[in-house]
């Protein structure tokens, strides 16, 4: 019995001794890791934020001069009478509107996003009331040479758009008569805008050059994903029949991926640049076009309608709206979603419904 107790105490002492040795060993290991930790050098790099790209709000392309960033576009009334052709300065426009005026002829409005790069533009003609309404939605400064007093001038004053009428001022820094045209053209086809003076002109006349904050967005929902908006119908040629004698035809050029414009059957050329007018996007905005209160003047419903978007050799049906005189155009696809537009210059023809023909070359 005594031997059993001695053996038991001996075993317990051995167990206690082993426990203490193990404990000291474990604590020593932990202490060693704490006092001499493994060291690593972690290299962190901070990626510099990419600079914000300020695109041309009329084309969706990064092509503005530094001085033009945040500045308003300029809209100019263009004489489109056959007897006034060829025009010049028109191939530089980022956006071109065309609409019917009295007598079955059309008039155009060229819009330039970069006010530091506007060329001399000829010939400049008088206002018809619906043009400044479209310009107003762009927060553009509007230039014309004369205005219809029945509704044109009252509209300019009522909507409060910034404008300069060459028929109301004598200022050689703004408008002049082209000496090379005098004697060759009727005098009403000779007025030109000195676009290269635009920064000086706006400053001299106290006209705001900065965009309104609420207007500082692109006119369309331009694509930014390097993809292309494709329509569902092949479109090699589109014809806008404004009247029996005035029509605009656009033919697709596969090499440049643009639509080249013809004026009533002839290539529509810029006299100075020697270029045929061409556009990445052609918008046909169909609406109601009637005579204004029984006169020869035209009245155009600018609030919206249907139409077509033509780009990249394809067309698709659209709807469009302009909610107020100061609102911009919004364009929607067949599903009612805002249309995604390919970056580039655009032509916008506002025309009576049923006057557009779209065709494709048979394979």
Q: Does 70 reside within a domain?
A: yes
Nearest to 303, CA basis, from 319, 318, 315: 319
What pTM was computed for the model?
0.86
Q: Does 178 reside within a domain?
A: yes
- pLDDT-derived band at 361 (thresholds 50, 70, 90) equals confident
Contact 223/211 with Cβ under 8 angstroms?
A: no
Pairing, β 314-321 against β 330-332 = antiparallel
Q: Does 12 reside within a domain?
A: no
Is the model's pLDDT at 20 over the cut of 80? no
- How many structural domains is the chain composed of? 1
pLDDT tens-digit readout, 117-165: 999 999 999 999 999 999 999 999 999 999 999 999 999 999 999 999 9
Pairing, β 191-194 against β 175-177 = antiparallel
Contact 258/250 with Cβ under 8 angstroms?
A: no
331 Cβ contact list (under 8 Å, min separation 6): 220, 283, 309, 318, 319, 320, 338, 339, 341
326 Cβ contact list (under 8 Å, min separation 6): 136, 137, 159
Q: What is the pLDDT of residue 35?
A: 39
Q: What is the pLDDT of residue 165?
A: 98
- pLDDT-derived band at 93 (thresholds 50, 70, 90) equals very high
- pLDDT-derived band at 214 (thresholds 50, 70, 90) equals confident
Q: Give the residue-averaged pLDDT of 196-209.
A: 98
Q: Does 52 reside within a domain?
A: no
**Phi, psi dihedral angles at 330 (to 5 degrees):** -125, 135
pLDDT tens-digit readout, 280-306: 999 999 999 999 999 999 999 999 999
Taking the mean position of all CA atoms in its chain, how far away is CA 110?
Answer: 13
Q: Does 32 reside within a domain?
A: no
Q: Give the residue-averaged pLDDT of 66-71.
A: 95
Q: Does 318 reside within a domain?
A: yes
Q: What is the pLDDT of residue 226?
A: 87
3-state SS of the chain is CHHHHHHHHHHHHHHHHHHHHHHHHHHHHHHHHHHCCCCCCCCCCCCCCCCCCCCCCCCCCCCCCHHHCCECCEEEEEECCHHHCCEECCCCCCEEEEEECHHHCEEEEEEECCCCCCCEEECECCECCHHHHHHHHCCCEEEECCECCCCHHHHHHHHCCCEEECCCCCCCCCEEECCCCECCECHHHCEEEEHHHHHHHHHHCCCCCECCHHHCCCCCEECCCCCCCCCCEECCEEEEECCCCCEEEEEEECCCCEEEEEECCEECEECCCCCECEECEEEEEEECEEECCCCCCEEECCCEEEEEEEECCEEEEEEEECCCCCCCCEEECCCCCECEECCCCEEEEEEECCCEEEECCCC
Q: Domain residues for 297?
A: 66-359
Nearest to 312, CA basis, from 240, 228, 210: 228
For the record, the structure tokens of 92 come out as 């530089």
Contact 142/75 with Cβ under 8 angstroms?
A: yes
ω into residue 123 within 30 of 0, thus cis?
yes
For the record, the structure tokens of 63 come out as 């092509």
Q: Does 18 reside within a domain?
A: no
Is the model's pLDDT at 16 over the cut of 90? no
Is the model's pLDDT at 45 over the cut of 60? no
Q: What is the pLDDT of residue 48?
A: 56
What is the rounded average pLDDT for all residues in the chain?
89
Contact 238/259 with Cβ under 8 angstroms?
A: yes
Q: Does 61 reside within a domain?
A: no
For the record, the structure tokens of 362 come out as 């048979």
Q: What is the CATH number of the domain that holds 305?
A: 3.50.90.10
């Amino acid at each position: 019995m005594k031997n059993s107790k001695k053996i038991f105490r001996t075993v317990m002492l051995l167990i206690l001794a082993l426990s203490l040795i193990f404990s000291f060993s474990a604590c020593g290991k932990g202490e060693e890791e704490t006092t001499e930790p493994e060291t690593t050098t972690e290299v962190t790099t901070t990626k510099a934020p990419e600079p914000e790209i300020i695109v041309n709000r009329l084309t969706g392309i990064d092509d503005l001069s530094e001085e033009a960033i945040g500045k308003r576009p300029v809209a100019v009334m263009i004489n489109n009478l056959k007897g006034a052709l060829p025009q010049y300065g028109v191939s530089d426009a980022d956006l071109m509107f065309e609409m019917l005026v009295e007598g079955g002829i059309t008039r155009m409005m060229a819009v330039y996003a970069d006010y530091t790069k506007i060329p001399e533009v000829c010939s400049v003609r008088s206002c018809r009331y619906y043009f400044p309404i479209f310009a107003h939605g762009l927060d553009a400064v509007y230039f014309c040479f004369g205005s219809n007093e029945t509704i044109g001038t009252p509209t300019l004053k009522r909507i409060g758009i910034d404008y300069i009428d060459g028929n109301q001022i004598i200022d050689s820094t703004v408008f002049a008569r082209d000496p090379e045209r005098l004697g060759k053209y009727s005098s009403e086809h000779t007025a030109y805008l000195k676009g290269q003076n635009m920064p000086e002109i706006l400053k001299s006349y106290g006209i705001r050059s900065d965009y309104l904050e609420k207007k500082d967005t692109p006119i369309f929902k331009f694509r930014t994903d390097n993809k292309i908006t494709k329509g569902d119908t092949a479109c090699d040629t589109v014809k806008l029949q404004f009247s029996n004698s005035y029509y605009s035809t656009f033919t697709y050029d596969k090499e440049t991926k643009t639509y080249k414009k013809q004026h009533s059957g002839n290539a529509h050329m810029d006299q100075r640049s020697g270029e045929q007018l061409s556009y990445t996007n052609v918008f046909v905005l169909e609406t109601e076009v009637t005579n204004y209160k029984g006169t020869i003047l035209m009245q155009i419903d600018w609030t919206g309608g249907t139409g077509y978007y033509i780009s990249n050799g394809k067309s698709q049906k659209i709807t469009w709206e302009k909610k107020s005189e100061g609102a911009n155009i919004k364009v929607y696809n067949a599903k009612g979603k805002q249309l995604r537009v390919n970056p580039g210059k655009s032509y916008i023809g506002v025309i009576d419904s049923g006057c557009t023909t779209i065709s494709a070359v048979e394979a």
